[in-house]
Chains A and B, each alone.
Chain A
Amino acid sequence: MNAGRGIVWSWALFLPLAVFLLLMMSSAQVYAEVPNAVPPKGDHKGEDVPQPIEFPHDIHAKINEINCMYCHTYARRSKVAGIPPTSKCMGCHSVIATDKPRIQKLTEYWEKREPPPWNKVHDVPDYVHFTHEKHLKRFVFDNEELPVERVSEVCAFCHGEVKNMTVAHKVKPLTMGFCVRCHEANKGPSDCWKCHK
């Protein structure tokens, strides 16, 4: 093989790659701050998932700085994070922003004693055993350098920056490769039966 041509080719490949990597690193800087953790790599452009009520995560998590686990209270105790019960919404919204159409719609559901029929955005296949509680323990509760107030940065590993979204979008692939690479980087278990059920 001609060595010279090889070099030319690789430079041609390297330049855009270098630019791309730099861009990636700058966009990933938010995550890089989480101590004792290597955030998973990979992105996904999720479809729009219409919800019965356009729930603004940004107002709750960014403007009002409500901790993710205030509403998703099961995340630290169960494999699932859980959607908050309607009563929790009404705890605030029986007095706050009651004039807003979205809240009025919520109140309608509440009065009918029906939960809003939310559509799932983040879903792993049924054969996957994924537990929120152990991941939170590893990255938040056992991580002395990360105060629990910053839990959203860990949530963002798999859910993206939800605090900048209205309704959540899937922005991470949540594929096996995505999981496995993170497990490798963070010394998670690699046995198939840890996750396949």
Chain B
Amino acid sequence: MSLKNILENWSNYRRDREAGGHHEYEHMWGMAIDLNKCIGCNACAVACYAENNLAIVGKEKMTKKQGMHWMRIERYWGEPDLDKLSQSSSQYQEHGANFLPMMCQQCNAATCEPVCPVAATFHTPDGLNAQVYNRCIGSRYCSNNCPYRLRYFNFYSYYESSWPAPLHLQLNPDLSVRDKGVMEKCTFCIQRIRVAKDKARMEDRVEKEAAVIKVGDSTFRAAAGRGKLEDMEFQTACQQTCPTGAIVFGDMLNPESQVRKLWDGHQVSLGKTKQTKQNPEKRGYRVFEALNTDPCVMYMERVREV
């Protein structure tokens, strides 16, 4: 956000979502997670540790809920919907567990962004909720304001305790190791996005024209010169390892992308607090949508035979 930019484009920064968002978008990265397929195996979470230099905090700090799991599998036992259907108030957990892979939802109306006193978290032209570590002063307002509780604060310096030599040789050089006092969270593997975008740019794969793209009921102004990436040209670490293929990731601005087709197919739209589905039986939903966070992650309901 440079000076000249501020002066010339001031009004753009104040533009509402209804007016096409506050950016000339390059991409709008989104995700769809099928809970019919997710088995809660945890492969995604460990892949995330490996890819994103996540620190190990140890048992004592896990007691204080200071774990740095950007991607975590939540497990719930209660299943009110099914109990009603099968009238089973059995003494057993008869329908198994309810697993929910939970990571930063990359909200388009992120509650973390407006409360950051130093603009360390902001929305990028990729539709991502960015976190700039150098800028972060550790106020933790953002994590207090996040309804999903998926921002993780470095209460300590972990680079010595978490990666004793030679474990540090595993660290991914494509992203920083965060130090004490900094907030961090899932980035949708920004380092992989960056490599793919750089590659597209190097190969002159760019969209020459600006465009206005409708995604569900939302409209986005897409910038000229944005990279033209193939769907599945790259994957996030969690998606790549997921043994059931439950995680689908891609560009919502690309009408041919798998993720966009899933959102459209499940009649879930961006920019809403309540979906108006033609077929209300479609499984897509967004967690805490009613809070008007406008998340870019759609889940598809778990299925059980009863």
Report B162 CB to chain A, min CB distance, Å: 16
Q: Which residues of B contact A133 (CB under 8 A)?
A: 198, 202
Please, which residues of chain B bring their CB within 8 A of the CB of A79? 198
Partner among B128, B135, B177, B194 whose Cβ is within 8 Å of the Cβ of A129 = B194
- From A127, A180, A184, B176 is in contact (CB under 8 Å) with A127
Partner of A127, one of B5, B125, B133, B202: B133
Per-position 1/0 for A164-197, Cβ under 8 A of B: 0000000000000000100110000011110011
Q: Please measure, in the bound complex, the distance between the C-alpha atom of A55 and the C-alpha atom of B194, giving whole angstroms.
A: 35
Chain B residues near A184: list those with CB within 8 A: 2-5
Also in contact, A192 and B198, with CB within 8 A (given A184-B2, A184-B4, A197-B175): no
Residue in B122, B124, B135, B174 whose beta carbon sits within 8 Å of that of A197 in the complex: B174
User: In the complex the two chains form, is A137's CB within 8 Å of B1's CB?
Assistant: no
Contact check, B176 vs A126: say whether CB atoms are below 8 A apart.
yes
* A60 interfacial by beta-carbon distance below 8 Å: no
Return A126 CB to nearest CB of chain B, in Å: 6
Q: Is A93 an interface residue (CB 8 A)?
A: no
Chain B 152-188 against A: per-residue CB contact (8 Å), 1 yes, 0 no?
A: 0000000000000000000001111100000000000
A192's closest neighbor in chain B, by CB? B132
A127 engages B174 (CB within 8 Å)? no
Query: With A180-B2, A184-B2, A192-B135 in contact, is A134–B202 under 8 Å at CB?
Result: yes
Contact assessment for B124 and A134 in the assembled complex, using a CB-CB cutoff below 8 Å: no
Distance (whole angstroms) from the CB of A164 to the closest CB of chain B = 31
Rounded to whole angstroms, the CA-CA distance of A131 and B191 in the bound complex is: 13
Tell me whether A191 and B135 are in contact (CB under 8 A): no
A-facing residues in B9-64 (Cβ within 8 Å): none
A190 touches B2 (CB 8 A): yes
Question: Which bucket holds chain A's interface residue count?
Answer: 10 to 19
Contact B124 A190 (CB under 8 A): no
**A23 CB, nearest partner CB in chain B, Å:** 26
| Contact between A196 and B198, CB atoms less than 8 A apart | no
Residues of chain A within 8 A (CB-CB) of B130 are 191-193
Interface residues of B in 76-107 (CB under 8 A from A): none
> What's the interface size class on B, roughly?
20 to 34
Given contacts A192-B135, A193-B130, A196-B132, A131 and B1 within 8 Å (CB-CB): no
Shortest Cβ distance from residue A80 to the other chain B in the assembled complex, whole angstroms: 10
Closest Cβ–Cβ distance, residue A110 to chain B (whole Å): 27
Among residues of A, the one whose C-beta sits closest to the C-beta of B193 is A193
In contact, B202 and A137 (Cβ under 8 angstroms): yes
Question: At the interface, yes or no: B190 with Cβ under 8 Å from chain A?
Answer: yes
| A133-B198, A133-B202, A190-B5 known; A196 vs B134 contact (CB < 8 Å) | yes
Given known pairs A126-B176, A127-B176, A180-B2, the reply for A193 and B202 (CB within 8 Å) is no
Q: Which residue of B lies closest to A79 (CB)?
A: B198
Contact between chains at B190 and A193 (CB < 8 Å): yes
**Complex: how many Å from CA A5 to CA B100?**
71
Distance A192 CA – B2 CA, assembled complex (angstroms):
10
- Enumerate chain A residues within 8 angstroms of B2, measured Cβ to Cβ: 180, 183-184, 190
Cβ of B24 to closest chain A Cβ, rounded Å: 11
Q: In the complex the two chains form, what is the Cα distance from A166 to B102 in whole Å? A: 55
Give chain B interface residues in 178-226, CB to chain A under 8 Å. Answer: 190-191, 194, 198, 201-202
Shortest beta-carbon distance from A11 to chain B in Å: 27
Contact B5 A193 (CB under 8 A): no
Mark A117-149 against chain B: 1 for CB-CB distance below 8 A, else 0.
000000000110101011001000000000000
Selected A-B contacts with CB under 8 Å, 17 pairs? A127-B134, A129-B174, A129-B191, A133-B202, A134-B198, A137-B201, A183-B2, A184-B3, A184-B5, A190-B2, A192-B1, A192-B124, A193-B132, A193-B190, A196-B135, A197-B176, A197-B194
Given A129-B191, A133-B198, list of 17 further CB < 8 A pairs? A126-B173, A126-B177, A129-B174, A131-B198, A133-B202, A134-B198, A134-B202, A184-B2, A184-B5, A192-B1, A192-B122, A193-B124, A193-B128, A196-B133, A197-B174, A197-B175, A197-B191
Residues of A at under 8 Å CB distance from B?
79, 126-127, 129, 131, 133-134, 137, 180, 183-184, 190-193, 196-197
Q: Which 10 A-B pairs have the closest CB atoms?
A: A127-B176, A193-B130, A192-B132, A197-B175, A196-B132, A190-B2, A193-B124, A184-B2, A191-B124, A184-B4
